[in-house]
Amino acid sequence: MEEITLDKVPRKIRDQYEKSMSALERGNIGYAMDMLSSITALEPRFLLARKSLRVAQLKKLLASKPSATTHQIASLKGMFATMGVQGKIKKDPKAALAAAEKLLAGDVLNFPFLKLFCDAAEAAGMPEAAVQTLEVVRPHFPKNVDFLRLLAKLYLDTGNPAGARDCYDLVVKLRPGDQEALKQYKDTSAVASMKQGNWEKRGDFREKLKDQEMAKRLEQEHRSVKGEADIDQLIADRIADIKREPQNMNFRRALADLYVRATRYDDALQALDDATKAAGRSDPQIERTASAIRVKKYDALIADARAKGDEAAAAATEKEKADFIYSDAVEMVKRYPNDLQFRYELGCQYYLRGMYNEGIEEFQLAQRNPQRRTRALYYLGLCFKAKGLRDMAFEQLKKAASEITLMDEIKKDVTYEMGILADEMGRKDEAIDYFKKIYEVDIKYRDVAQRIEASYTKGA
């Protein structure tokens, strides 16, 4: 299924989505859910709307403080509807998907409902929607092995073996004696290793498994390295492998990795350059890896200068490193203007350099990337704040906060800045409320403890 992004949906749907997000930010969750449900029915491929719907459903459910009994009651009430969905999955998957949506609206943390939705989404040719739903609710199933297995399967179906590997890794830790889980972890690790950096074209998962023995051998060798002689021997082995199979990108990636481990950064960069030539085309992931190696090279030079007590040289190299990261970010956007990850990285560089208008432009584009949306909104808020546009900054941060369910690091950052802005706009009580939300889960975060304590001192 090809996802439709916010900038590609019809104007009417985009307006409805923006209204639904405003309703969600104001706490009008029921109205937001109704609008988002309507949007997903009109355009099922608009995954951002479905993600927002899940966030709204989760907020509504968590406000009622659900328990195991809550889910049991929901299952009983939805028994006949569940049977109806099961009966439609093969005959009319789209109708099954719509019916499964109604079940989730009542209890989005009900695992049988979630599994049913995933089955319907896959039958309707929308496995990405299933993955997205499970990712939103995943923090609430940290030790549920069935949930992790389901998500792993969907990751494989959508070409994300690294995600599947991480799920099976957790299953192995939860069930150390589960040999099937261990096998699945090893298999997905092999495929993820081959796919790392998008070095090979996407293909069928089972087709790629034919090369797993080679990938496992490379991984075992990588782990068994004990000294310089071991690395030198492995480098020689990989060079021989490449001469024998020049089109095997897995060997070329392994060679670059070994060069990095040996701190032979120039050789690693040359290996990547040779890989690009062998592939006959440029690859944004190969270039991203090359950029990371160049940064490592700078770090090594800085550490060496400091070890020699030459702070002037270290400072000069720090500046060179910063200049390289900036110029590289600019160049990557020129070369790959549709890559929203590169847009996000360039926006960060503009922000660090005080180029706020340029940063705003990049973050406005980068927020279309679901993986970077909340951080992009966060930096949009910071850019507006730096320009003195506090009300606009606050609105961007509210959008970001409304899409994050748990008080993780990004939500702490967003909530803190909302508190700062509220304080600067004279809304002192509101500011303290934001700081309290962070204080309740992380007393050591920045200066929230001092701010909370100071507020009580003033009130005494």
What is the pLDDT, as a whole number, of residue 206? Answer: 46
Task: Please report whether residue 73 resides in a domain.
Answer: yes
What is the pLDDT, as a whole number, of residue 221? Answer: 52
- Count other C-beta atoms under 10 Å from residue 274's C-beta: 15
Task: Please report whether residue 109 resides in a domain.
Answer: yes
What is the pLDDT, as a whole number, of residue 229? Answer: 65
Task: Please report whether residue 38 resides in a domain.
Answer: yes
Residue tagged 């929901």 (tokens): 74
SS3 174: helix
Total structural domains within the chain: 2
Task: Please report whether residue 147 resides in a domain.
Answer: no
Whole-angstrom distance, CA of residue 455 vs CA of residue 460: 9
Q: Of the residues 81, 102, 124, which one is the last residue of a structural domain?
A: 124
Q: What is the dihedral of CA 193, 196, 199, 201, to 10 degrees?
A: 80
Q: Tell me: do 236 and 117 sit in the same domain.
A: no
Whole-angstrom distance, CA of residue 411 vs CA of residue 437: 10
Q: Of the residues 68, 94, 124, which one is the last residue of a structural domain?
A: 124
What is the pLDDT, as a whole number, of residue 142? Answer: 86
115's CB contacts (< 8 A; 6+ apart) are 146, 150
Domain that holds residue 81: 1-124
Whole-angstrom distance, CA of residue 293 vs CA of residue 401: 34
How many Å from the N-terminal Cα to the C-terminal Cα in the chain? Answer: 60
Q: Is 390 left (phi over 0), alpha (psi -120 to 50) or beta?
A: alpha
292's CB contacts (< 8 A; 6+ apart) are none
Task: Please report whether residue 404 resides in a domain.
Answer: no
SS3 67: coil
Q: What is the dihedral of CA 23, 24, 27, 31, to 10 degrees?
A: 60
Residue tagged 């099922």 (tokens): 44
- Output the CA torsion sign for 191, 192, 198, 199: negative
Residue 67's alpha-carbon distances to 63, 181, 441, in angstroms, are: 12, 29, 21
Q: Whose CA is closest to 458, among 428, 437, 430?
A: 428
Task: Please report whether residue 100 resides in a domain.
Answer: yes
**Residue 250 is part of a domain; what is its CATH number?**
1.25.40
What single-letter DSSP state applies at residue 155?
A: H
Are 142 and 124 in contact, with CB atoms under 8 Å apart? no
The pLDDT tens digits along the chain (460 residues) read 667 877 788 888 888 888 888 888 778 888 989 999 999 988 888 888 899 899 899 988 988 888 888 888 998 998 999 999 999 998 899 999 999 999 999 999 999 999 999 999 999 999 999 999 999 899 899 889 999 999 999 999 888 888 899 899 899 888 888 888 888 888 888 777 666 544 444 444 444 444 555 555 555 555 445 456 678 888 998 899 899 888 887 788 888 988 988 899 999 999 999 988 988 888 887 888 899 999 999 999 999 999 999 999 999 999 999 999 999 999 999 999 988 889 999 999 999 999 999 999 999 999 988 778 899 999 999 999 999 999 999 999 999 998 887 788 899 999 999 999 999 999 999 999 999 999 998 999 999 999 998 888 765 5
Are 122 and 89 in contact, with CB atoms under 8 Å apart? no
Widest pairwise Cα distance in the chain: 79
Chain-centre distance for alpha carbon 57: 21
Contacts of the segment 168-177: beta carbons below 8 A, 24+ positions apart: 171/145, 174/143, 174/145, 174/148, 175/145
Whole-angstrom distance, CA of residue 444 vs CA of residue 16: 40
- Count other C-beta atoms under 10 Å from residue 443's C-beta: 10
Q: Of the residues 280, 301, 323, which one is the last residue of a structural domain?
A: 280
What single-letter DSSP state applies at residue 126?
A: -
Residue 330 tokens, joined: 């600019």
Q: Tell me: do 119 and 230 sit in the same domain.
A: no
What is the b/e burial string over 159-180, where b = at least 16 CB atoms within 10 angstroms of the residue's CB?
ebbebbbbbbbbbbeeeeeeee
Task: Please report whether residue 197 resides in a domain.
Answer: no
Task: Please report whether residue 357 resides in a domain.
Answer: no
Residue tagged 């991480």 (tokens): 166
Residue 29's alpha-carbon distances to 20, 56, 281, 296, 440, in angstroms, are: 9, 6, 48, 47, 24
What is the pLDDT, as a whole number, of residue 439? Answer: 93
Q: Whose CA is closest to 33, among 48, 47, 54, 12?
A: 54
